[in-house]
Amino acid sequence: MAGDETRPGAAPVPDEAEESVPFETADIYGAYPRLPDDQLARLEQHGRRRAVDAGDVLIREGERCETFYVVLSGSIAIVEGHGTADERLLRVHGPGRFIGELGLLNGQVAFYTALVRAPGEVLALSMDQLRDLVARDSVLGDVVLRACLGRRALLVGQGAGFRIIGSRYSPDTRRLREFAARNRLPHRWIDLETDEEAEELLRRFGVGPEETPLVIWRDTTLLRNPSNAELARLMGLPSLPAGNRHGDLLIVGSGPAGLAAAVNAASEGLGTTVAEAMAGGGQAATSSRIENLLGFPSGISGAELTERAVLQAHKFGARISVPAEAARLEPRDGHYAVGFADGSEITARTVVLATGARYRRLQVPGIERLEGTSVHYSATVYEAQQCRTDPVAVVGGGNSAGQAVLFLAGYTPQVNLLVRGPSLEAHMSRYLIDQVERHPRVRVLLHTEMTEAFGDRVLEAVTVVDHRTGEHRRLVVRALFVFTGADPHTEWLSGALALDARGFVLTGAEAQACSVPGLWQSQGRDCLTLETSLPGVFAAGDVRSGSVKRVASAVGEGAMSIHFVHRYLGHTATPGGTDSSPHTRPKESAWLA
């Protein structure tokens, strides 16, 4: 096995268990905890002991994880590419440790093989047994969750998982990398332009550069320029439910508002499906650090916040499908049917629209051909890694621009922040302004607007104008990050319900004023606060007209939308006062009263 990361003397030996397991991986950031005796005893009450021999495979790369294993004696090796020329040892675990990472909890395929290294005994629990146990034991649940999140982050950082081979100048390469990154799928990008390994792999699989981008998985599966949906199915991301089942609630979008709605709805007994076009978390998931969210005094990354919320929604029984792009909404027989771009359809009694908004594209000469290669509308580690030696520019004056500037300044020699206005105070929080103005690698250019982009395959420079003096000048930058306001994801709703002049969804009194005459009189009530011009269809978060564009506000609106869903379902109960849904609880939870 190549690439063994654990060697004698690599870390201090904390207890006798590690002394008996040569090369055991040290506990990195709490990702590999050793369960104490009391937790092992509780697990043993639910699981079954199983003897294992050297070479036994417990979890196989590319297959779904169906069992939770705890090592009682012996040791388990975590291996990538088992049985191939590229086999690599990632981890070794001894007694008291458990096997599994994030895919174990959310139903994805395994990105590694768990192989018995030294014979011994393991404790095996089904996933249902594990979920039941951690639901009743919050301490054990926190240990498992924290470890699984940490292990996924380490896998992503190591470049484990599948490989994407493609040119940095290819929009399809960029699309696949963005989808993988946004969904936190372990993978490694091999640049066709600079990486010598790319040519060797192309020869091995008998394909030409014109057929890229490629996705290679376990050296046995090759996808030529797959769609996001094809990649999602290969990795085990959940698809839309088969058939057209009638659920209680369909949530369209899984940003902070959609995930908050899903957690609250599912925890209160509503049959809940979430449809997401790209990845959980929305724009918030691309934030390097959110520092003004209640309960996180040291901040939290958007990716970690999203992962926790997705797992929480799964815990309560919500089904989240990715990718699923909504294409139409129409009333049908007292329910609402939502059709998707792939031709599928879901019907539900109520709908919460939480599709958020996307950053507005910058309309200047020369920029369009560079979008997806060196002009970006988000700033994640994958874009930042391409800019390590080059100056970059950020356009925008809000919090998202400020967060991106600080994040990029950790990677690049200089970040130029281009702001049209006379100061940062108008749209940026004070805590961000202080950090931006103090950072030695950040240059703030006020009264400045970008007028043109230069470069054939990659950005080489931009021109800017100073509105105070009218002076035009050229800035040499190799990447551009744009955060200039947002447009809603509502093209598919045009004509179905009332939108404002900018395309955001109207709710409450404004929606009622734009509704079909007599509609609300026939309902015997007024339009609810987050309700749209269609009774039983609600909007929450950035997609809603007049909403405050902050993570905390979106979370609050998502939770509040379920309060109104309950009120709607209660108001439209079947004759006799009983609710027709077997999944809906007879009354709202106490905090909603």
Beta strands in 55-100 (DSSP E): 57-59, 67-80, 88-93, 98-99
**β-bridge mates for residue 273, sequence order:** 250, 319
pLDDT band per the 50, 70, 90 thresholds, residue 372: confident
Predicted pLDDT of residue 20: 54
218-226: long-range pairs with CB below 8 Å, 24+: 218/61, 218/62, 218/81, 218/84, 218/162, 219/81, 219/84, 219/85, 219/86, 221/62, 225/172, 226/176
Q: Which residues lie closer than 8 Å to 499 by C-beta, 6 or more apart?
A: 490, 493, 505, 506, 545
- Given a cut of 70, whether residue 468 has pLDDT beyond it is yes
Q: Give the pLDDT mean for 144-166.
A: 90
Predicted pLDDT of residue 584: 43
**Span of 120-134, 237-251, 418-432, 468-482 with lowest mean pLDDT:** 237-251
Chain segment 51-74, per-residue pLDDT in tens: 999 999 999 999 988 899 999 999
Predicted pLDDT of residue 293: 87
Per DSSP, helices labelled H in 78-216 are 102-106, 127-136, 138-158, 171-182, 196-205
Chain segment 484-538, per-residue pLDDT in tens: 888 898 999 999 999 999 999 999 999 999 999 999 999 999 999 999 999 999 9
Predicted pLDDT of residue 156: 87
Q: What is the dihedral of CA 453, 457, 458, 461, to 10 degrees?
A: -30
Per-residue burial over 11-47, b = 16 or more CB atoms within 10 Å of its CB, e = otherwise: eeeeeebbeebebbbebeeebbbbbeeebbebbeeeb
Q: How many CA atoms lie within 13 A of 236 on its CB side?
A: 22
- Given a cut of 70, whether residue 280 has pLDDT beyond it is yes
Angle, to 10 degrees, between the axis of helix 138-158 and the axis of helix 302-315?
130
- Given a cut of 50, whether residue 542 has pLDDT beyond it is yes
- Given a cut of 60, whether residue 574 has pLDDT beyond it is no
Predicted pLDDT of residue 361: 87
Predicted pLDDT of residue 245: 65
Predicted pLDDT of residue 478: 94
**Residue from 232, 216, 233, 285 nearest 254 by CA:** 285
Predicted pLDDT of residue 192: 92
pLDDT band per the 50, 70, 90 thresholds, residue 373: confident
Predicted pLDDT of residue 107: 83
The number of angstroms, rounded, from the C-alpha of 229 to the middle of its chain's C-alpha atoms is: 15
Based on the number of CB atoms within 10 Å of its own CB, is 516 exposed (0-12), middle (13-18) or buried (19 or more)? exposed
Measure the CA–CA gap between 357 and 343, rounded to whole angstroms.
Answer: 24
Is residue 79 within 8 Å of 89, Cβ to Cβ? yes
Give 513 or 21, the one with higher predicted confidence.
513
- Given a cut of 90, whether residue 391 has pLDDT beyond it is yes
Chain segment 223-273, per-residue pLDDT in tens: 999 999 999 999 999 888 776 667 899 999 999 999 999 999 999 999 999
Q: Looking at residue 477, what DSSP letter applies?
A: -
Rounded to the nearest integer, the mean pLDDT of the chain is: 88
Give 286 or 118, the one with higher predicted confidence.
118
SS (H, E, C) 344-366: CEEEEEEEEECCCEEECCCCCCC
Measure the CA–CA gap between 114 and 277, rounded to whole angstroms.
Answer: 32
* pTM value surpassing 0.85: no
Chain segment 290-320, per-residue pLDDT in tens: 888 889 888 888 888 998 899 899 889 899 9
- Given a cut of 70, whether residue 587 has pLDDT beyond it is no
Is residue 37 within 8 Å of 103, Cβ to Cβ? no
Element (H, E) at 473: strand 472-475
Predicted pLDDT of residue 174: 87
Measure the CA–CA gap between 428 and 511, rounded to whole angstroms.
Answer: 30
Predicted pLDDT of residue 572: 62
Is residue 498 within 8 Å of 506, Cβ to Cβ? yes
- Provide the greatest CA pair distance for the chain: 79
pLDDT band per the 50, 70, 90 thresholds, residue 586: very low
Q: Give the pLDDT mean for 441-470.
A: 95
